[in-house]
Structure 1
Amino acid sequence: MRKKINFKKVIVAVLVVYILGIFISQQVTIAKIKEENNQKKQELSTLKKKNNELQDQVNMSKSDNYIEKIAREKLNFIKKGETPVINNSSKETSK
């Protein structure tokens, strides 16, 4: 005696498996999005820190003390009454 296949049960089982597959797929997608979100937050934090450092440099570069410092270091400027000192130790002496 053969058992009759109950099509309603088969359809319900297929639907349950299908819905379960969709659920698992969505959970994987959500996990990937959360990970990407965390990475973007870290990247944003790093960029904000770098931006703040650059803003500080911009603000500092507008000050007279910074301009004077650069003029002295890069252009070898001196004030009236100062005696210039030449340091040759950093220059290459071998030819």
Structure 2
Amino acid sequence: MNNKIKGKSIIIVLIICYVFYIFISQQITMHKIKSQISDKKIEEQKVKEKNQKLQDEVKMSKSDMYIEKLARERLGLIKQGETPVIDSKN
């Protein structure tokens, strides 16, 4: 009779250990998934910000002021009557 009680106790302990193992394993998996979700949300926000900057740049590139700015900066063009200034640092 004593062996039956020990056998049942061992089985119960093993079942409890298995349940705890499953529970802890699921918690670890859930934590990893939450971390991945958080990382993806941050990445999504960065992509949205970059997208907005690019959309703003596209809008601005269609304006005459932007075209003039690029011509002045990249091509060194000046308006009639302006005095060119040479930057010796470059």
Match of 1:77 in 2: 77
1:40-59 alignment, distance < 5 Å: 40-59=40-59
Q: How does 1:30-41 map to 2 (within 5 A)?
A: 30-41=30-41
- Aligned-pair identity (%): 44
Match of 1:4 in 2: 3
- Whichever residue aligns with residue 76 of structure 1, its letter is G
| TM-score, with structure 1 as normaliser | 0.76
- Measured after TM superposition, the shift of residue 59 of structure 1 is 1.5
CA RMSD of aligned residues (A): 2.0
- Give structure 1 stretches of 5+ with no counterpart: none
User: What secondary structure sits across from 2:81 in the alignment?
Assistant: coil
Q: Distance between the aligned counterparts of 2:3 and 2:56, measured in 1?
A: 80
TM-score by length of 2: 0.80
> SS at 1:77's partner residue?
coil
- Flag the structure with larger Rg: 1
Amino acid at match of 2:29: T
Q: Helix, strand or coil: the match of 1:30? A: helix
Equivalenced residue count is 88
Gaps of 5+ in 2: none
Partner residue in 1 for 2:88: 91
